[in-house]
Amino acid sequence: MKIMNCPLNGPRNISEFAYGGDVRPVPNDDADPKAWADYLYMKTNQPGIAVEWWIHVPTSYWFMAERDLRTDEILATYPPKLPATGATP
Amino acid sequence: MASSSLRRSFLRVPLNKIGATWADLASAEIAALIPGENASAPVVLRDLSTMPRTGFKGADSPAWLEARGVVLPPAPNLATKQADGSLVARLAPAEFLILGALNGDSAATDRLDSAWTIDSAGFCFQLPRRDSHAWLHLSGDKVTAMFAKICGVDLRTKAFANLAIAQTSVARLSAIVIRDDLGNIPSYHLLADSASAIYLWESLEDAMKEFSGSIAGYSSLPAP
Amino acid sequence: MSGSRLPAPWGQRIDRGQSVTFSFEGRSYAGYCGDTIASALAANGQWVLSRSFKYHRPRGMISAAGLEANTMVHCGDEPNVLADRHPIAPGLVVCAQNTFGGIDRDYGRLMELFTRFLPVGFYYRTFFTPKIAWRFWEPVIRKLAGLGAVNVEAHHGYFDKAYLFADVAVIGGGPAGMAAAISAGRSGAEVILIDENVVLGGALTYARLDVTGRQAEEERLKLEAEIASLSNITVLTGASVQGWFTDNWLPVIQGNRLFKLRAKAVVTATGAAEQPLVFRHNDLPGIMFGTAAQRLMRHYAVKPGERAVVVVANNDGYGVALDLLDAGVEVAALLDLRASPPVDAVAAAAQSRGVRVITGSAVKEAIEGRSGRVRAVKIAPVLGEGLLGASSETIDCDLVCISVGYIPQTALLSHADAKLVPDPQTAMPRIETLPAHLFVAGSVAGRWALAATLADGARAGLVAAADAGVEGITIPAAIPADGHGLTWSWPIFPHHKGKEFVDFDEDLQYHDIPDAAALGYDHIQLLKRFSTAGMGPTQGKITNTLIQRVLARATGASPDLVGTTTVRPPIGGEKIGHLAGRSFDPIRLTAMHHRHLQAGASMMPAGAWMRPAYYGDDQAAAITAEVAAARTSVGLIDVSTLGGLDVRGPDAAAFLERIYTWNYANLAVGRVRYLLMLNEGGYIIDDGIAARLHEQHYYVTATTSGVDQVYRLMLWFNAQWRMKVDIANVTAAYAGVNLIGPKSRDVLSGLCTDIDLSSEAFPYLGIRTGTVAGISARVMRVGFGGELGYEIHVPAGQGEALWDALTDAGEPMGLRPVGIEAQRVLRLEKGHVIIGQDTDSLTHPKEAGMSWAIGRKKPRFVGRAAMLAMEAKPQTRQLVGFELADPEGPMPKESHLVIDDCKSGGKEIVGRVTSVTRSPTLKKPIGLAFVPPEKAAPGSTFQIKVEAGRMITATVVPIPFYDPENRRQEI
């Protein structure tokens, strides 16, 4: 089982965490429906470094993780950085 | 006592099954004596669920607590013993759990609870920790061996210092584990979802069986 | 046949003072405490342990170390027990597997006569055409080609799991592993040393390293004493590491416990097995590895035979010959595959003791004796790779010891994605790369001589300790590899008559591999699936390299290009109990749980919670009575499982406006409003109520199963929005009841004196705080049943006391506890939608008839953009209320289909029923269903297909069904 380093609680078994999806810029509320459709349903699914939301379940603590999708290596974790940019589709 | 509106333990039924004698403590019932209890067993399990405790969180909570003379732990996941015997556990930079003194004195938590109002405390919010979580106490030389059967975090005394906190999963329940030795006896507070208290209790009973664990009453806690 | 025990000091592991009686195939045998099943049987002359998978040939030990399925037996309730690893115990009942008529006279052996009709891949080739054939053949084949049988009556054992933690985990307790543990331990690291055997030492417990035969044990004792002196080394013996998982996570099985070991650094010192020699009848009992004979002698004092032929391709085999001589076994000949072997001290000693050494020769064929055991071998000169000359001589023997090379046990390294390449220099794999924090030592790493092994182990221990964070360690220079000349690169001598086995578990002969390749299955992965090579119980541990080599030759590729099949965990067999034992499934109980049980409730799960379904034995009567109580007098419902969230802070109102669809900023303090939550896709995911307790404090409820997701989403959104709001999940902190019915005010007024309960002071959709029965409470005038009612939330620790007080106060007024089943009726009579039952994951508010809960003027809320986009499209369905004309007619069930009888020949599915009940109050069947928009107007009719394909007609009616003006709940 992988270890993930929680910015609040330190290294823990990954079973203590849940994945929360890619960090991506959220369209404006009045954005074109196409922009929303892209945001909601178009995932790039490309190899590379992904910036993702993760939550430490016992503390309900959300943070961000950078993960190499080719090797599944977790490169870094840190408290949420804003504005959320992440990988653009 | 069935008609009393006193706070009842989430573990009243399993404790009644083993013949617990109840006493009143801090406006609540507590299992004071258990027939055949062995307070020096390698694992001793006690239910402190009805004992006083409270919590505060929000960006202004460190300042609000410090203004009331609370000594704060320097970093998250550390606890600090207060002069009045209560224990302040820092769960996040701005989140605190306060366990009342083990003698059942509710003065420390009462003082904070009665001082707090939503209008006066700024961005600091009270949490109903006495009801959201069950509070179990585990002590003895084999407690860490027992924990290794239900918790994936290394809680052994050499890896987990006194007054350290682990917020993790215990028997698949989200839980707060705080090491707070009684003298030189390794001792841990275990707080978890009050609605799952009986499940957790049964899991602990099962896990401590191989270590000749004993369920003991509150009265057998050594004097602080 | 040999049936005698050797004198001490042979037999380190047995206690001759403790005799143990057990049975095999119905016959009683005596062994000693410490014996394995196989060693005790061998000591009694019983060498045949099983019948082979396909041809039912007699089989016995090859490795005496659990590396082949030959030794699998049925033991008590347990199938597929390795007899050469499992200890005997008093009264143990052992049976052979896969036999017809017993181990000695197996009629299944007749299969062998049909060998040429059983070609490789014969299942696929023979039994799947025509398709019907498989139905006939499957049971026949399953019976013929089985392993052990599962006893479904077997008693349950207690299996559990535990975590282990170490700085350095050393896997394998041979000399390299022991040396690694010692050096890591001396450096101060916390070490766990794991070995599958009952004592540490690995090859030191059985191998002969020198002429005297004493060096190995002396060295072992020294290492053992040193380990015992280091308190920071934990030794786990009789424990098997089943795999390597990411970040050094190792499942370790010891007895009935599965350990989950996390180590900062791992040293793999798993050593090597011997490789088989492939020749005709190489599977006969009595043909075994040299190390197997040594294990039998040194560990169990079993004399492995009377007259032996030793076949070697390295000088370790000469040590085997010396051991056999010491044990009183006649060594008829030592065949050395090498034409001119180097002579070291051990080889010289063997020769000087009169062993007849025949160089450049090998066994061409073994001859089966009456008991199934080998009786003689035909020998022949080695002419070239895989090529033997004419048989020159037949030598009588009952034991053939094979020492022709080694297979490093690299499975764990493969799990870890280490890169291993075949090394033509040594005919063994070389490790090219290892992942971080994983290290190797000893023979698995190509260090073979004892001194090299110990030095390599000691070095690996230091490297691992430093890697684990121990400071101040100086790493010595690397130890050169010395595996050259140990392993014969082509130990395979095909015979024109076959029966030269390259996979014992699966009964594969040499020619099966080129045959499969010729059929087109010439990739190692295809070959494996088609021929089943390496798919037996031991997963080809000692035979995969043979398959790789034969395929390489058949396809003209080099072994490194042929590659290997993927090696996956587990390394050894594991029991279902290890995986399933002592699982943890939290159950949540409300504060009133035991009161429900006392009241005769049938409990049902709701998510992780247990909730009362109804009270009493007669379900239908109970539900009717509970509904009647709520409608005519008073009922008491435990609503503690409802989610509760305290949302507080200066931005609390703005936050709710943004999370939920409706308006909350204009909600007055002391008032309650319905909540509807969408996801970003515009679909309904939860509902509840918001009660405003203070300008900056809303008490928010969520559904029982939805609250964890709602809480998590709120935190996630606010991690982005950074609004000045605090969200606390207080679900477990509050117990709640819904006191429902015309007499609810009467009940409550006796217990609550600090809240004015009059309709004027405390109207419908109000919230007040006060005390009920002396317990501080949040009291709300809400409910889903459409009657006067109060929802009372109190601290969980006082929930049972509240229940008791209300039950006592309500008794004179006929108060009844009301379960979930009755609640579902009550809410359906009022037409309330249950999120997740009447909606699915693709329901937007308009479809569900919930447009009224949308704040259309709000500039934004979660899901708004997507919801508007969907509303702009033509609507495809509408949730409506319906009733059935015939109160006694057939009833639809939830998810029964709505059919359009004018389309597709009356078969078009256009909707479905989401809720339905026979309303006890209205005395007719009512329900909710999705129907096409054109059928959604009140008065329209639609068809529902019910059980047995019957069609019934439903009529759309407005909701609520009951008390449409909502007068009763507002009095």
- Tens digits of per-residue pLDDT, B152-180? 999 999 999 999 999 999 999 999 999 99
Domain that holds residue A30: 3-78
Residue C894 has pLDDT above 50, yes or no: yes
> CA nearest C679 in A: which residue?
A40
- For chain B, what's the residue count? 224
Alpha helical stretches, state H, B69-173: 107-115, 129-132, 143-147
pLDDT in tens, C664-675: 999 999 999 999
Would you give the distance in Å from CA C629 to the centre of its chain? 49
- What superfamily does domain B17-50+133-218 belong to in CATH? Probable tRNA modification gtpase trme; domain 1 (3.30.1360.120)
Give B-chain residues touching C774 at CB under 8 angstroms: 5
Alpha helical stretches, state H, B51-163: 61-67, 107-115, 129-132, 143-147
Residue C333 has pLDDT above 80, yes or no: yes
Which amino acid is residue C470, in one-letter code?
A: V
Give the C-alpha separation, A40 to A34, whole Å.
10
| pLDDT value at residue C125 | 67
Give the C-alpha separation, C684 to C710, whole Å.
12
The mean of the pLDDT values for chain C is 94
Q: Assign residue C489 a region: left if phi > 0, alpha if psi is -120 to 50, beta otherwise?
A: alpha
Higher pLDDT, C129 or C517: C517
Higher pLDDT, C187 or C119: C187
* Structure tokens that stand for B143 in this block: 């407690």
Residues C916-941, mean pLDDT to the nearest whole number? 96
Give the C-alpha separation, C846 to C866, whole Å.
13
Give the C-alpha separation, C323 to A11, whole Å.
52
Percent helix / strand / coil, chain C, rounded to 5: 25, 30, 45
Give A-chain residues touching C469 at CB under 8 angstroms: none
| B1 interfaces chain C, CB cutoff of 8 Å | no
Give the C-alpha separation, C435 to C438, whole Å.
6
Tell me how many domains chain A contains.
1
Is C579 in contact with C572 (CB distance < 8 Å)? no
Q: pLDDT band for position C562 (50/70/90)?
A: confident
Give C-chain residues touching A62 at CB under 8 angstroms: 715-716, 719
Query: Could you give the percent of chain C with pLDDT greater than 90?
Result: 86
| pLDDT value at residue A83 | 62
Which amino acid is residue A30, in one-letter code?
A: D
Omega into C960 within 30° of 0, i.e. cis? yes
| pLDDT value at residue C559 | 78
- Provide CATH 3.30.1360.120 ranges for chain B: 17-50+133-218
Instruction: Output the CA angle C951-C953-C955, nearest 5 degrees.
Output: 155
Residues C638-659, mean pLDDT to the nearest whole number? 97
Phi, psi of A61 (to 5 degrees): -100, 120
| pLDDT value at residue A89 | 33
Q: How many CA atoms lie within 13 A of C26 on its CB side?
A: 4
| B203 interfaces chain A, CB cutoff of 8 Å | no
Give C605's strand partners: C610
Q: pLDDT band for position C590 (50/70/90)?
A: very high
| C726 interfaces chain B, CB cutoff of 8 Å | yes
Question: How many helices, marked H, and strands, marked E, lie in chain C?
Answer: 23, 48
| pLDDT value at residue C863 | 96
Query: How many angstroms away from the CA of C169 is the closest CA of chain A?
Result: 16
Residue A84 has pLDDT above 60, yes or no: no
Q: What architecture does CATH give domain B53-130?
A: 2-Layer Sandwich (3.30)
Residues C48-67, mean pLDDT to the nearest whole number? 92
pLDDT in tens, C431-451: 999 999 999 999 999 999 999
Sequence-distant (≥ 6) Cβ neighbours of residue C75 within 8 angstroms = C37, C81, C83, C86, C92, C93, C94, C95
Instruction: Output the CA angle A61-A62-A64, nearest 5 degrees.
Output: 135
| pLDDT value at residue C2 | 43
Report B:76-95 residues touching C (Cβ under 8 A). Answer: none
Residue C1 has pLDDT above 50, yes or no: no
Residues B87-116, mean pLDDT to the nearest whole number? 96
Instruction: Output the CA angle C310-C316-C318, nearest 5 degrees.
Output: 45
For residue A10, is it within any domain? yes
| A7 interfaces chain C, CB cutoff of 8 Å | no
- Contact state of B166 with A61 under an 8 Å Cβ cutoff: no
DSSP string, A26-89: PPPTTS-HHHHHHHHH-----SSEEEEEEEEGGGTEEEEEEEETTTTEEEEEES--SS------
For residue A50, is it within any domain? yes
DSSP state letter for C624: H
Using the Cα atoms of residue B118, residue B121, residue B124 and residue B127 in order, give the sign of their dihedral: negative
Round to the nearest angstrom and report the end-to-end CA distance of chain C: 99
Q: Find the CB nearest B8 among C585, C609, C797.
A: C797
Residue B128 has pLDDT above 80, yes or no: yes
DSSP state letter for B194: G
Phi, psi of C603 (to 5 degrees): -90, 150
Is B96 in contact with B65 (CB distance < 8 Å)? yes
Tally Cβ neighbours within 10 Å of residue B194: 31
Sequence-distant (≥ 6) Cβ neighbours of residue C130 within 8 angstroms = none
Give the C-alpha separation, A4 to A16, whole Å.
9
Give the C-alpha separation, C363 to B2, whole Å.
87
- Provide CATH 3.30.70 ranges for chain B: 53-130
Give B174's strand partners: B169
Are β-strands C233-236 and C191-194 bridged in parallel, bridged antiparallel, or unpaired?
parallel
Residue C38 has pLDDT above 70, yes or no: yes
> CA nearest B154 in A: which residue?
A12
Q: Across chain B, which distance is largest between two alpha carbons, in Å?
A: 52
Report C:182-201 residues touching B (Cβ under 8 A). Answer: 190
| C751 interfaces chain B, CB cutoff of 8 Å | no
- Contact state of B152 with C163 under an 8 Å Cβ cutoff: yes
Alpha helical stretches, state H, C329-473: 345-352, 411-415, 450-467
Higher pLDDT, C154 or C601: C601
- Contact state of B10 with C724 under an 8 Å Cβ cutoff: no
Residue C130 has pLDDT above 70, yes or no: no
| pLDDT value at residue C318 | 98
| pLDDT value at residue C126 | 63
Query: How many angstroms away from the CA of C257 is the closest CA of chain B?
Result: 10
Q: pLDDT band for position B1 (50/70/90)?
A: very low
CA distances from C521 to C504, C530, C531, C560 (A): 20, 7, 9, 18
Tell which of A4, A6, A12, A63 to mutate to test the B interface (max B CBs under 10 Å). Answer: A12
Give the C-alpha separation, A12 to C224, whole Å.
35
Residues C311-336, mean pLDDT to the nearest whole number? 98
For residue A83, is it within any domain? no
Q: Find the CB nearest B169 among A10, A16, A61.
A: A16
| pLDDT value at residue C119 | 74
Weakest-pLDDT range from C116-125, C804-813, C881-890: C116-125
Across C576-597, b (16+ Cβ under 10 Å) vs e yields eebeebbeeebebbbbbbbbbe
Chains that touch B (3 or more CB pairs under 8 A): A, C
Q: pLDDT band for position C959 (50/70/90)?
A: very high
CA distances from C839 to C678, C824, C915, C934 (A): 12, 15, 10, 19
Is C21 in contact with C93 (CB distance < 8 Å)? no
Give the C-alpha separation, B140 to B181, whole Å.
9
Asked if the interface predicted TM-score (ipTM) of this complex is over 0.90, the answer is: yes
Closest listed residue to residue B28, CA positions, set A25, C795, C706: C795
Give the C-alpha separation, C936 to C955, whole Å.
10
Is C636 in contact with C817 (CB distance < 8 Å)? yes
* Structure tokens that stand for C949 in this block: 């394909």
Give the C-alpha separation, B139 to C695, whole Å.
45
Give the C-alpha separation, C418 to C442, whole Å.
16
Query: How many angstroms away from the CA of B179 is the closest CA of chain A?
Result: 16
Chains that touch C (3 or more CB pairs under 8 A): A, B
Q: pLDDT band for position C858 (50/70/90)?
A: very high
Give the C-alpha separation, C449 to C469, whole Å.
30
| pLDDT value at residue A86 | 45
* Structure tokens that stand for C455 in this block: 């030095």
> CA nearest A84 in C: which residue?
C720
Q: E strands, C490-575, where?
A: 501-503, 508-509
For residue A43, is it within any domain? yes
Would you give the distance in Å from CA B192 to the centre of its chain? 9
| C605 interfaces chain B, CB cutoff of 8 Å | no
- Contact state of A80 with C865 under an 8 Å Cβ cutoff: no
For residue A87, is it within any domain? no
- Contact state of A9 with B167 under an 8 Å Cβ cutoff: yes
Is C289 in contact with C64 (CB distance < 8 Å)? yes
Give B-chain residues touching A12 at CB under 8 angstroms: 152-153, 168
Give C266's strand partners: C169, C438
Are β-strands C357-359 and C428-433 bridged in parallel, bridged antiparallel, or unpaired?
unpaired
Phi, psi of C746 (to 5 degrees): -65, -40
Secondary structure element (H or E) that encloses residue C766, with its range: none
Query: How many angstroms away from the CA of A29 is the closest CA of chain C?
Result: 6
Give C-chain residues touching B144 at CB under 8 angstroms: none
For residue A52, is it within any domain? yes
Tell which of C163, C244, C245, C249 to mutate to test the A interface (max A CBs under 10 Å). Answer: C249
| C582 interfaces chain B, CB cutoff of 8 Å | yes
Give the C-alpha separation, C659 to C785, whole Å.
27
Any idea what the CATH number is for the domain that residue A50 is in? 3.30.2270.10
Residue C105 has pLDDT above 80, yes or no: no
Q: Is C511 helix (H, G, I), strand (E, B) or coil?
A: coil
pLDDT in tens, C783-837: 889 999 999 999 999 999 999 999 999 999 999 999 999 999 999 999 999 999 9
DSSP state letter for C204: G
| B58 interfaces chain C, CB cutoff of 8 Å | yes
Query: Could you give the percent of chain C with pLDDT greater than 70?
Result: 96
Query: How many angstroms away from the CA of B174 is the closest CA of chain A?
Result: 5
Give the C-alpha separation, C529 to C521, whole Å.
9
| C596 interfaces chain B, CB cutoff of 8 Å | no
Give B-chain residues touching A9 at CB under 8 angstroms: 77, 166-168
Q: E strands, C789-896, where?
A: 789-795, 816-817, 878-884
Q: Is C828 helix (H, G, I), strand (E, B) or coil?
A: helix
* Structure tokens that stand for C705 in this block: 């199963």
Which amino acid is residue C39, in one-letter code?
A: S
Report B:183-202 residues touching C (Cβ under 8 A). Answer: 193-200
